[in-house]
Structure 1
Amino acid sequence: MGRIIDAALATATVFGAQYLGREVSPVEDGSTRRWYHHLNKPGFSPPAPVYAIVWTLLDGLLAWSGYRLLRAESSFKRTLALSLWAICVAGVAGFPFAVFRKRRLDAGLAICIGLVVTSGASICTAKKVDQCAAKLQIPFFVWLTFAVFVQEEVWRRN
């Protein structure tokens, strides 16, 4: 594929997952906002504006990583790296569905843990295809690891 198409595909995939996650979760619904607001969250849980800033950065890095993987020479390793990358991106949409639509804190924790594992595998696999693509995924992995601690505390307290 061409550079523009690869860039558009990677970007649309990542930001499409974010859009889908927002569309399937009733975040703007008053009862969901009240429910989430009343959850007992740990003191180290970031405020809402931090999530927006961090996720914008992470989405950009994930899109760039996906673009680099798409530009790599076609191989089994590349296909595996792209598959794991895509699973990570899909998990981004799955979390708000589980937590906000279904109000399942346990499922949210399971998704976070699964994403840490998948993200780690994605980084290891991408490293064999494109070192830069792998490095671009590290902040996502770090954030997910932190998210597991936050989500575990939210789940345990509620």
Structure 2
Amino acid sequence: MGRIIDAALATATVFGAQYFGREVSPAEEGSTRRWFHHLNKPAFSPPAPVYAVVWTLLDGLLAWSGYRLLRAESSFKRTLALSLWAICVAGVAGFPFAVFRKRRLDAGLAICIGLVVTSGASICTAKKVDRCAAKLQIPFFVWLTFAVFVQEEVWRRN
């Protein structure tokens, strides 16, 4: 594929997953906002505006990583790296569905843990294809690791 098509595909995949996650999630509805507001959250849980900033940055880095993987020479390792990358992107969309639509804090924790494992595997696999693509995924992995601690505390307390 061409550079523009690869860039559009990677960007559309990441931001499309975020859009889909928001569309299937009633996070903005009054009853869901009240429910989430009244959850007992740990003191180290970031305020809402932080999430918007962090996820915008992470989405951009994920899209850039996906672009670089798409541009790499076709191989089994590249296919595996792209598959793991895509699973991570899909998991990002699944979290708001589980937590806000279904109000399943346990499922949200399971998704977070699964994403840490998948993200780690994605980094290790991408490293064999494009070291820069792997490095671009490290902030996502770090944030997910932190998210596991936050989500575990929210789940345990509620």
Q: Same fold (TM over 0.5)?
A: yes
Cα distance per residue 1:11-35 (max 9 Å; x no partner): 0000000000000000111000000
Tell me the alpha carbon deviations over residues 22-80 of structure 1, each in whole angstroms, 9 at most, x when there is no partner.
00000111000000000000000000000000000000000000000000000000000
User: Alpha-carbon deviations, 1:76-95, whole Å to 9, x = none?
Assistant: 00000000000000000000
Give the Cα–Cα distance (whole angstroms) in 2 for the partners of residues 27 and 36 of structure 1.
Answer: 8
- Aligned positions of 1:113-132 closer than 5 A: 113-132=113-132
Cα displacement string for residues 89-140 of structure 1 (whole angstroms, at most 9, x for unaligned residues): 0000000000000000000000000000000000000000000000000000
Query: How do 1:101-140 and structure 2 match up within 5 A?
Result: 101-140=101-140
Distance in 1 separating the partners of 2:45 and 2:29: 22
Query: Could you say what secondary structure the match of 2:41 adopts?
Result: coil
1:13-28 to 2 correspondences below 5 Å: 13-28=13-28
The separation in 2 between residues aligned to 1:27 and 1:42, in whole angstroms, is 20
RMSD: 0.2
> What SS does the corresponding residue of 2:42 show, helix, strand or coil?
coil
* Alpha-carbon distance between aligned partners in 2 of 1:27 and 1:38, rounded to the nearest angstrom: 14
Unpaired runs of at least 5, structure 1: none
Q: Which runs of 5+ in 2 are unaligned?
A: none
TM-score, normalising length: structure 2: 1.00
Tell me the secondary structure at the aligned position of residue 123 of structure 2: helix
> 2: CA distance between counterparts of 1:74 and 1:32?
44
